[in-house]
């Protein structure tokens, strides 16, 4: 296989995530000679992988053989297939040229839906994730103070309440440190370049798969089935369902106490054997999953945190976040069964060799990205792609509105909790104190017929102070679990634009190919292959959407019930306390 190289013509200094700096005359290795919106991807002399302007380099051919992209497709094969359906002069590079626009303008009757990058409201989910070496692995990533500096780590969308302590809740949506929002702000500034360069459709392998460029050996165990259920395509249920508990967060030290970390005890029900895992293990696993599954919404892990990592509140909060995450992992038919997750759940934490073996195997997994689609087995009857598009559009609108309302519920309940902890408590305590003060005044009269009343009023005062404390404790019981749920779903909602983008990209390729066939620029057979592969992506996407809805209904039903039950318990507790106070007057 021929490797691609290029000589750098001018110095270029990276300005954005994903870019690398290159120096004049440096030789860079390319992953493809095909640019993406004027950018090329490659590795520079320092071993950094990323993008640089295509016009800054001069492509050379060399005979140095190297393997990229899961060692699967040769560059030649890649190029061949890539160009196969593109008109002379190249389609991709001229995507935005006047020529291309004319093409679109000439065929308005085709009911084309274009997906310019700027319409995507969300950042790409599936950045290429650095496959940390074992040396990296030993570094305590978790200790880094700046999450943004983490190389190649996808930051979770988990709502971060930490650092405010238990008694403060952030209020407005604008001030909320929502992973998604933060990414938003960052990406919107560079959206016109970034999203093109990191087009999820391309990066996820979706495009490569649709164009028939994916190839790999699918073992029986890797096979993932989409079946037709009552409500449309769905992932085949896991025949061996299991759950996994996360307990005993324990502080551990290494390097003679120089480094500390928290270890969690994971006990999956299908092995009944506990393993200890650290946050960085979750983080590593998360990166593998994001890389592997282009149209599956991998639940975000709780956000990294620089300070206060050993505080009880934080540990308890992170554990709850990890439990939610685990719940979503084990209940997902595809995620629950995948090798890397099983390795994570079952490999003995003391057998370092076995761990590293499994780890390396996962990092070298060929069936990631484009090849993941190879593992999908669909029902015989193909989907109506028009219907797929309509469903996808509907789901897009759904996620948009759900995201808005989740933000609102989040803000409102946070404020509600804050009010209970501060304002409500204060009001009840003030009432309690004034009753106590009244009873103290009344105690100046100690006639026999007064004493009972004095005591009863004093008790009423204490009761109101106690109710004030109930209000402080309550949000932990009801609001916090809802906020945890919302945070998890904010993560999912941040994933879906990319998933939808892949689906839409595939549909667009089908439309393009049909147009090319009509124009005689493509063989019917080739277009049929594209449609078949789009069908596979569509089955997977719709199955994932179905899974999302089912999980959503399950989770929100359970959580609303829990919330209301806790609220009922709270008001019953208040009522009981007041009844106790009232009884004190019986003998007064």
Confirm or reject binding of residue 393 to a copy of itself (CB under 8 A): no
Angle subtended at Cα 581 by Cα 578 and Cα 586, rounded to the nearest 5 degrees: 130
Nearer to a copy of itself, 30 or 402 (CB): 402
Using only C-alpha atoms, the chain has a radius of gyration, in whole angstroms, of 29
Nearest approach, Cβ of residue 308 and a copy of itself (Å): 29
Q: Is 359 assigned to a binding site?
A: no
Question: Residue 87: CB partners within 8 Å, gap ≥ 6?
Answer: 516, 521
Residue 139 vs 237, nearer CB to a copy of itself: 237
**Cβ contacts of residue 588 below 8 Å, gap of 6+?**
452, 453, 455, 456
Beta carbon of residue 329, minimum distance to a copy of itself (angstroms, whole number):
22
Task: Answer yes or no: are the C-beta atoms of 48 and 20 closer than 8 Å.
Answer: yes
Q: Strands, E, within 269-361: which ranges?
A: 275-278
Show contacts with a copy of itself in window 541-560 (CB under 8 A).
549-550, 553, 556-557, 560
337 assigned to a ligand binding site = no
CB of 430 to a copy of itself, least distance (A): 5
Q: By CB under 8 A, name the one of 295, 326, 406, 466 that touches a copy of itself.
A: 406
The tokens describing 222, both together, are 């890797």
Of 145 and 447, which has the nearer Cβ to a copy of itself? 447
C-beta neighbour count of 11 within 10 angstroms: 12
Interface residues for a copy of itself in 124-183 (CB under 8 A)? none
Per CB under 8 A, does 469 bind a copy of itself? no
Residue ranges with strand state E in 302-401: 376-377
Q: How far is it, in rounded angstroms, from Cα 326 to Cα 37?
A: 39
Q: What's the closest the beta carbon of residue 409 comes to a copy of itself, in angstroms?
A: 4
- As a whole number of angstroms, the distance between CA 527 and CA 532 comes to 9
Per CB under 8 A, 83 contacts a copy of itself? no
Nearer to a copy of itself, 313 or 415 (CB): 415
* Cβ-based neighbour number of residue 351 at 10 Å: 11
Cα-based distances in Å from 548 to 195, 303, 535: 25, 22, 20
Piece in contact with a copy of itself (CB under 8 A), picked from 69-77, 82-90, 176-184, 567-575: 567-575
By CB under 8 A, residue 470 contacts a copy of itself: no
Are the CB atoms for 186 and 338 separated by under 8 Å? no
Q: Which is nearer to a copy of itself, 26 or 415 (CB)?
A: 415
Among 64, 148, 189, 564, binds a copy of itself (CB under 8 A): 564
Stretch that binds a copy of itself, among 293-301, 333-341, 377-385, 450-458 (CB under 8 A): 450-458
**For residues 25 and 561, which CB has a smaller minimum distance to a copy of itself in the complex?**
561
Question: Which of 185, 434, 519, 524 is close enough to bind a copy of itself by CB under 8 A?
Answer: 434
DSSP string, 424-461: IHHHHHHHHHHHHHHHHHHTT---HHHHHHHHHHHHHH
Q: Edge-to-edge strands of the sheet including 244-254?
A: 244-254, 259-268, 275-278
CB 446 within 8 A of CB 471: no
Is there binding between residue 104 and a copy of itself (CB under 8 A)? no
Q: Are strands 57-61 and 4-8 parallel, antiparallel or unpaired?
A: antiparallel
- Given 46, 223, 364, 430, the residue binding a copy of itself (CB under 8 A): 430
Among 231, 356, 361, 364, binds a copy of itself (CB under 8 A): 231
Q: At what angle do helices 479-518 and 448-477 cross, to 10 degrees?
A: 20
Q: Is 433 an interacting residue with respect to a copy of itself (CB under 8 A)?
A: yes
DSSP 416: H
- Bridge partners of 314, per DSSP, are none
Nearer CB in complex with a copy of itself: 52/548 = 548
Minimum CB distance to a copy of itself, residue 441 (Å): 4
Residues that bind a copy of itself (CB under 8 A): 231, 394, 397-398, 401-402, 404-406, 408-409, 411-413, 415-416, 419, 423-424, 427, 430-431, 433-435, 437-438, 440-442, 444-445, 447-450, 453, 456-457, 460, 549-550, 553, 556-557, 560-561, 564-565, 567-568, 571-572, 574-575, 578-579, 581-582, 585, 588
Q: From the annotation, which residues make up the binding site?
A: 278, 280, 318
């Amino acid at each position: 296989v021929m490797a691609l190289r290029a000589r750098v013509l001018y110095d270029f200094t990276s300005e954005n995530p994903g870019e690398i700096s290159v120096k004049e005359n440096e030789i860079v290795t390319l992953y493809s000679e095909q640019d993406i919106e004027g950018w090329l991807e490659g590795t520079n002399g320092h071993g950094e992988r990323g993008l640089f302007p295509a016009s800054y380099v001069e492509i050379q051919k060399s005979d140095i053989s190297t393997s990229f992209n899961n060692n699967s497709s040769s560059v030649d094969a890649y190029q061949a297939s890539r160009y196969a359906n593109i008109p002379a002069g190249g389609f991709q590079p001229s995507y935005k040229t006047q020529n291309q626009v004319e093409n679109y303008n000439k065929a308005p009757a085709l009911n084309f839906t274009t997906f310019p990058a700027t319409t995507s409201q969300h950042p790409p989910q599936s950045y290429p994730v650095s496959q940390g070496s074992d040396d990296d692995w030993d570094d305590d990533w978790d200790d880094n103070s700046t999450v943004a500096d983490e190389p190649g780590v996808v930051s979770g969308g988990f709502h971060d309440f930490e650092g405010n302590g238990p008694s403060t809740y952030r209020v407005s949506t604008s001030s909320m440190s929502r992973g998604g929002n933060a990414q938003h702000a960052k990406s919107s500034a560079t959206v016109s370049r970034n999203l093109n360069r990191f087009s999820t459709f391309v990066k996820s392998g979706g495009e490569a798969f649709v164009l028939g460029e994916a190839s790999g050996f699918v073992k029986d165990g890797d096979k993932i089935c989409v079946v037709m259920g009552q409500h449309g395509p769905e992932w085949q249920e896991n025949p061996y369902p299991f759950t996994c508990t996360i307990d005993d967060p324990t502080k551990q030290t290494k390097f003679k106490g120089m480094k500390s970390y928290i270890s969690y005890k994971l006990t999956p029900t299908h092995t009944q054997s506990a393993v200890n895992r650290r946050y960085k293990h979750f983080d590593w696993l998360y990166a593998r999953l994001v890389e592997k599954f282009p149209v599956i919404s991998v639940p975000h892990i709780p956000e990294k945190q620089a300070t206060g990592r050993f505080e009880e509140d934080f540990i308890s909060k992170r554990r709850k976040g990890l439990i939610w995450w685990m719940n979503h992992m084990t209940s997902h038919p595809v995620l629950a069964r995948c090798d890397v997750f099983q390795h994570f759940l079952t490999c003995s934490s003391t057998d370092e060799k076995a761990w590293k073996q499994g780890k390396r195997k996962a990092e070298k997994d060929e069936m990631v990205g484009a090849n993941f689609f190879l593992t999908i087995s669909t029902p015989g009857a193909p989907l109506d792609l028009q219907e797929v598009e309509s469903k996808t559009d509907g789901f897009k609108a759904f996620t948009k509105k759900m995201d808005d309302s989740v933000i609102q519920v989040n803000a409102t309940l946070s404020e509600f909790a804050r009010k209970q902890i501060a304002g409500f408590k204060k009001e009840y305590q003030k009432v309690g104190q004034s009753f106590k003060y009244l009873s103290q005044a009344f105690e100046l009269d100690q006639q026999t017929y007064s004493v009972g009343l004095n005591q009863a009023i004093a008790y009423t005062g204490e009761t109101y102070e106690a109710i004030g404390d109930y209000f402080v404790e309550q949000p932990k019981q009801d609001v916090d679990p809802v906020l945890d749920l919302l945070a998890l779903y904010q993560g999912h909602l941040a994933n879906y634009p990319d998933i939808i983008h892949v689906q839409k990209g595939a549909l667009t390729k089908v439309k393009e190919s049909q147009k090319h066939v009509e124009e005689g620029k493509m063989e019917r057979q080739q277009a049929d292959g594209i449609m078949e592969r789009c069908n596979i992506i569509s089955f997977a996407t719709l199955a994932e959407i179905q899974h999302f809805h089912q999980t959503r209904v399950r989770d929100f039903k359970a959580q609303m019930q829990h919330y209301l039950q806790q609220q009922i318990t709270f008001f019953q507790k208040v009522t009981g306390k007041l009844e106790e106070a009232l009884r004190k007057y019986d003998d007064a």
